[in-house]
Amino acid sequence: MACACCFSKLCLTLLLLVVVLGSSNAQLSTNFYSNSCPNLLSTVRSTVSSAINKEARMGASLLRLFFHDCFVNGCDGSLLLDDTSSFTGEKNANPNRNSARGFDVVDNIKSAVENVCPGVVSCADILAIAARDSVAILGGLSWNVKLGRRDARTASQSAANNGIPAPTSNLNQLISRFSALGLSTRDLVALSGSHTIGQARCTSFRARIYNESNIDASFAQTRQRSCPSATGSGDNNLAPLDVQTPTSFDNNYFKNLVNNRGLLHSDQQLFNGGSTDSIVRGYGNNPSSFNSDFASAMIKMGDISPLTGSSGEIRKNCRMMN
Ligand code: HEM
Ligand SMILES: *[C@@H]1O[C@H](CO)[C@@H](O)[C@H](O)[C@H]1NC(C)=O
């Protein structure tokens, strides 16, 4: 009888054991799919690799997708859901609209993974692996990715608008946004080193290159040539976030900041006479400390409120709920 069991010490102990085991289940682990999908990592890697061979920037775009997923209600694949007539997702939130890219590559990875292990691997985990592989392929350090996330059945455009920091943010705003998610100031600086790869649109840096004084003059001039001052003209023209090596995952981003060559207002905030100057200098002088802090910070970011156990689902198609 259920009731008799409730009051027995043995049953309470068993119950406790189930709760404890159940909650330890709710943790990510590096070997989560080692039995259920032994070829997962090589399958993702080869699809990411061919996408980057086609277009080096794609590595940057995939890395950014993971960030934009994790910063909005956790790393749960919510970013990947398409809008429909009855559902508003995150793809048209301000930080993503006309900017987030690589969704077609995520689809390719997902189909390759579904071919080898149907219905097993979440889209949220695919983003985590693709981000790691992108960094490694472009010359950064690799790390062991924790896995076991499940996919959300919800998304939030307003949480994306409020949760992903804007390039107009000042240092305090950046620090507090990261801190709200359990990421330290050092994590903020290390993770911002992602801007050693990839591109930004004129609209994201126009105000900085025309109106700010903490910018190298010749750098500003160069950027102005392909980003007209008038709002609405050339808004989508691209410029590299790292003026030196935009397809190499190195520490040039930090060297640029020290020389007032940060492209975004938010980039230069990290080296503008404030508390993070010394961290930026440190990473600029010591690539291996950047690389190892970056890897740890990516693991921390990947731990932001995942869905685990029986929460959420394993989507069949990353663009829609099952
Ligand atoms: C610290 C606050 C951050 C701000 C304000 C910020 C803002 C931006 C902006 C405005 C762009 C250009 C978008 C466009 O114009 O289309 C961009 C690009 C990018 N961001 Fe960030 N970002 C931040 C942190 C991060 C983090 C933590 C990562 C990764 C872990 C990241 C990865 C990237 C990458 C790789 C690109 C280039 C994407 C591409 O070329 O497709 N960013 N970011
Ligand atoms: C620069 O600042 C001036 C004065 O605030 C403003 O009118 C102008 O629109 C700004 N230009 C850009 C490109 O942001």
- pLDDT tens column, 17-35: 444 444 444 689 999 999 9
Asked if 125 and 194 sit in the same domain, the reply is no
Distance 178 CA to ligand 1 centre (A): 14
Q: How far is Cα 38 from Cα 53, in angstroms, rounded to an integer?
A: 25
Distance 195 CA to ligand 1 centre (A): 6
Asked if 80 and 159 sit in the same domain, the reply is yes
Determine, yes or no, domain membership for 319.
no
pLDDT at 308: 98
Determine, yes or no, domain membership for 265.
yes
Q: What CATH number corresponds to the domain at position 188?
A: 1.10.420.10
Residue type, 182: G
Check pLDDT > 80 for residue 247: yes
Instruction: Indicate the Cα dihedral angle 135, 137, 143, 146, nearest 10°.
Output: 80
Instruction: Say which ligand is closest to the CA of 183.
Output: 1
> Going by CA atoms, what residue is nearest to atom 23 of ligand 1?
192
Among residues 129, 163, 197, the one where a domain terminates is 163
Is the CB of residue 168 below 6 angstroms from any atom belonging to ligand 2?
no
Asked if 201 and 285 sit in the same domain, the reply is yes
Q: What is the mean pLDDT of residues 107-111?
A: 98
Q: What is the mean pLDDT of residues 95-120?
A: 98
| Average pLDDT of the chain to the nearest whole number | 94
pLDDT tens digits along 289-316: 999 999 999 999 999 999 999 999 999 9
Q: What CATH number corresponds to the domain at position 66?
A: 1.10.520.10
Determine, yes or no, domain membership for 281.
yes
- Let me know if 265 is a catalytic residue: no
Q: Residue 103: which of 120, 83, 118, 119 has the closest Cα?
A: 83
Check pLDDT > 80 for residue 322: yes
More confident call, 26 vs 72: 72
Q: What is the mean pLDDT of residues 60-64?
A: 99
For 118-121, the CB contacts below 8 A with 24+ separation are 119/314, 119/316, 120/33, 120/36, 120/37, 120/314, 121/33, 121/37, 121/40, 121/314
Which residues are within 8 A (CB) of 26 and not within 5 positions of it... i.e. 6 or more apart?
Answer: 308, 309
Q: Residue 127: which of 67, 66, 79 has the closest Cα?
A: 66
Asked if 126 and 86 sit in the same domain, the reply is yes
Which residues are within 8 A (CB) of 259 and not within 5 positions of it... i.e. 6 or more apart?
Answer: 216, 219
The answer to whether the beta carbons of residues 298 and 198 sit under 8 Å apart is no
Distance 13 CA to ligand 1 centre (A): 49
Domain that holds residue 278: 171-300
> Going by CA atoms, what residue is nearest to atom 27 of ligand 1?
191
Which residues are within 8 A (CB) of 196 and not within 5 positions of it... i.e. 6 or more apart?
Answer: 241, 242, 245, 246, 248, 249, 250, 251, 252, 253
Domain count, the chain: 2
Which residues are within 8 A (CB) of 24 and not within 5 positions of it... i.e. 6 or more apart?
Answer: none
Asked if 116 and 181 sit in the same domain, the reply is no
Is the CB of residue 228 below 6 angstroms from any atom belonging to ligand 1?
no
Closest atom, ligand 2, to C-alpha of 211: 1
The residue whose CB lies within 8 Å of the most ligand 2 atoms, and thus the one to mutate among 168, 204, 208, 211, is 211
Show the tokens assigned to 79: 């970013």
